[in-house]
A and B are shown apart, each in its own frame.
Chain A
């Protein structure tokens, strides 16, 4: 079973984590509980789309988690079909999730909760929030309250990002 942090940062607040992340066990079997909000791998969801859509319709929320090599381009439904989408960072040094986050927001128009899970901690969440993530499932061995402060490590940046679509050069007063 995953060592899941009971708390999560959502929209800058530390709150209780209502999503249970379900992953395959050693034999590769995924056991989805019949009730409650679950976060499942995108590949699993693709394989069980119909029954999981029914589960969600019955009031038991289903969210999907993109692995680094999953492609948002392959989504068979609109991204906003989901209330929550997560991206997994198996190691924080695998930066593919940053691109996936931006693509979900900027190209697929996703407006729900975008959550970073996996190797997430203070030093990664500033970049993550700029790439469109609004929720951070911080590693359970880290101080989540301290981690949240990482959101403000930088309060200004040069590029266009999800958090600030206008690059600095479009906001900077032109020096005479």
Chain B
């Protein structure tokens, strides 16, 4: 994991002082609400329905047990004893008091954490594959590159006030677990035929109101030019992105208006001036960052652990958990474990302070003291010995983090929605809970196989509903809460956007609607066929027919 040196620490400490001064001036009336708003947003502080909401950065989802204990302490001291993991690998507090935020930041700074640029129209936390560094299909470890991008994007003097927020994701594996195609900039770290490392640069992807899959504008970028090239992309966006309409301000709109070819050409023109300039990365700097992401002190095993293979056969519950929540590791005798934050009855992604403490202990005991947050809002212990898996499973069960549902229907990705968010059209958490409740039978759930379900409370798409196999979107119909269902979205390398099924449904209809969709799947399924493969084969019609059976034929605009 990256460790701050005195420079990194100084920058974060100076931020705490600056923000304390800003808060004081706001409370003293020297900064107006209008002036303070963008300033506090750049520090992750929203004012929401009930209270401010503070988003703390977890750079590319990596966090140490010591940091997790501090997060738990903050939840206990300044919040209602729990915190919420987000789809961008960050953590949120839903109830801090505005005047306590500088103190919270000071506490975070003692463990090398902060809330810098976790919101606002600036470059946000860079995200990556939660299995970076351990994935069996990894080509290049993306984390040193994420850290290099983190430093470059932190307090960048030119890009603090962009037309709109800006998100970068980096992937280094065969499978794309970082959703690079739906980011403002998506980067694949790849190798060419000669074995040299380089980047593929995609721009203009994004969800929200206008979902678009990103376009490849640079098929091969040499590593040393990464930052000067990013500078060039950001400069073109900062100067020419639309500022007259916030719904048209993301880079995707600019790229679409100019065409990806013309946008790429403009970037190249800009880049010609700065390429080979001072931002050209040095080999020393690349090596300095890489040294923080070397393999931990693994024990050497020649193959699978025999005792573990025996345990696996003995318990159905254990083997089910292994099947869903344990991911193949590139090191023999090790595994990566996902702790599910989606048990029945808890808002997806929520964790209490005592759970956080317990999870920190598990990390110390079983995984070199480190944890990761996935964009599916779960936690990962990335380096667990196979021989420890049974004990870890028991321990995770005891704290409610062992639901064997990763990738299944009840592993719902869900935004905070109307319970917390003032932009919401509808609540999302109660729907997620009702669906989890309806599909509580684990045998049935496992038989259904992988189904991504994503839910957002409005078209801002924080819950990524466009890329769910089943997507649910909260819509407002004459002041009451309705839900629009779409099918067929997928994430990863073949990312595609889901299509709306038809008119929306009332809240109490939703569990039935989902059940009908699942029944159509089950009735038409060939063997072990996955939901999304079946959808591609039979299309939306059979689903529509079932779901709207007996409903009066209403016409309604697709995007309410």
Would A158 and B155 count as touching, CB distance under 8 A? yes
Q: Which A103-126 residues have a C-beta within 8 angstroms of B?
A: 107, 121-123, 126
B159 touches A160 (CB 8 A): no
Cβ 8 A contact of B121, one of A93, A121, A155, A161: A93
CB contacts under 8 Å to A, within B495-510, are none
One of B207-215, B282-290, B293-301 at the interface: B282-290
- Chain B proximity mask over A121-158: 1 for CB below 8 Å, otherwise 0: 11100111011000000000011000000000111111
Q: Which A80-115 residues sit within 8 Å CB-CB of chain B?
A: 92-96, 98-99, 102, 107
Select which of B18, B30, B152, B278 is within 8 A of A154 by beta carbon.
B18
Distance from A70 Cβ to chain B, minimum over Cβ atoms (Å): 11
Q: Which residues of B contact A165 (CB under 8 A)?
A: 278
Chain B residues in 8 Å Cβ range of A96: 238-239, 243
**8 Å CB contact of A95 from B159, B281, B284:** B159
CB distance from A91 to the nearest CB of B (A): 9
Q: Mark B35-71, 1 if CB is under 8 A from A, else 0.
A: 1001100000000000000000000000000000000
What residues of chain A lie closer than 8 Å to B39, measured between beta carbons? 123
* Cβ distance A32 to chain B, nearest Cβ, rounded Å: 29
Question: Are B158's CB and A102's CB within 8 A?
Answer: yes
Would you call B155 and A160 a contact (CB within 8 A)? Answer: no
Complex-state Cα separation, A94 to B242, whole angstroms: 11
Q: In the bound complex, what is the Cα–Cα distance between A128 and B291 (angstroms)?
A: 34
Tell me, yes or no, whether B477 is within 8 Å of chain A by CB: no
Among the listed B11, B22, B159, which residue makes an inter-chain contact with A98, where contact means beta carbons less than 8 Å apart? B159
CB distance from A74 to the nearest CB of B (A): 13
Stretch at the interface among A1-9, A44-52, A166-174: A166-174
Q: Decide yes or no whether B303 CB sits under 8 A from chain A.
A: no
- In this complex, what residue of A is CB-closest to B22? A123
A175 & B291 in contact (Cβ 8 Å cutoff): yes
Task: Kindly report which residue of chain B lies nearest to residue A71, judged by CB atoms.
Answer: B239
CB within 8 Å for A155 and B160 given contacts A99-B239, A166-B278: no
Q: A155–B14 contact, CB under 8 A?
A: yes
Is A17 on the interface with B (CB-CB < 8 A)? no
| Chain A interface mostly | loop
Closest to B42 in A: A123
Does chain A have a CB within 8 A of B154? yes
Q: Is B161 an interface residue (CB 8 A)?
A: yes
Q: Are A156 and B157 interface neighbours, CB within 8 A?
A: no
What residues of chain B lie closer than 8 Å to A43, measured between beta carbons?
none
In the complex, are the beta carbons of B160 and A98 less than 8 A apart?
yes
Chain A residues positioned under 8 Å from B38 (CB to CB): 92-93
State the CA gap A112–B284 with chains docked (Å).
36
Q: How far is the CA of A2 from the CA of B512 in the complex (A)?
A: 63
A107 near B273 with CB under 8 A, answer yes
The reply on B235 being an interface residue by CB < 8 A is yes
With both beta carbons as reference points, the residue of chain B lying nearest to A153 in the complex is identified as B18
The residues in B between 2 and 17 inclusive whose CB is less than 8 angstroms from any CB of A are 5, 7, 10-11, 14-15, 17
Q: Give the docked Cα–Cα distance between A160 and B285 (Å).
A: 14
- When chains A and B are docked, how far (Å) is the Cα of A53 from the Cα of B162? 35
Given that A154-B18, A168-B7, A169-B285 are contacting pairs, would A95 and B278 also be in contact in the complex, using a CB cutoff of 8 Å?
A: no
In the complex, chain A residues whose CB is within 8 Å of the CB of B291: 175
Task: Tell whether, in the assembled complex, residue A95 and residue B18 are in contact, meaning their CB atoms are under 8 Å apart.
Answer: no
Determine if A156 and B7 form an interchain contact, defined as CB atoms under 8 angstroms apart: yes
In the complex, what's the smallest C-beta–C-beta distance from A63 to chain B, in angstroms? 22
- On whether the beta carbons of B161 and A157 are closer than 8 Å, the reply is no
> Is the CB–CB distance between B239 and A158 below 8 Å?
no
Q: Are B158 and A95 in contact (CB under 8 A)?
A: yes
Q: A154-B14, A170-B282 are in contact. Are A131 and B155 (CB under 8 A)?
A: no
Please state if A95 and B238 are interface contacts (CB–CB under 8 Å).
yes
Q: Would you call B288 and A174 a contact (CB within 8 A)?
A: yes
B77 within 8 A of A: no
* B156 contacts partner chain A, Cβ-Cβ < 8 Å: yes
Q: Which of A121, A123, A143, A153 has the most CB of B within 10 A?
A: A123
Chain B residues whose C-beta falls within 8 Å of the C-beta of A166 in the assembled complex:
278
Task: Let me know if B238 and A154 touch, CB within 8 A.
Answer: no
Bitwise, A42-67 to B at CB < 8 A (1) or not (0) is: 00000000000000000000000000
Closest to A143 in B: B30
Which residues does chain B contribute within 8 Å of A121, judged by CB atoms? 35
**A–B complex contacts, Cβ < 8 Å, 18 sampled:** A95-B162, A95-B238, A98-B159, A98-B238, A99-B158, A99-B235, A107-B273, A143-B30, A153-B18, A154-B11, A157-B157, A158-B155, A167-B227, A169-B151, A172-B285, A175-B5, A175-B288, A175-B291
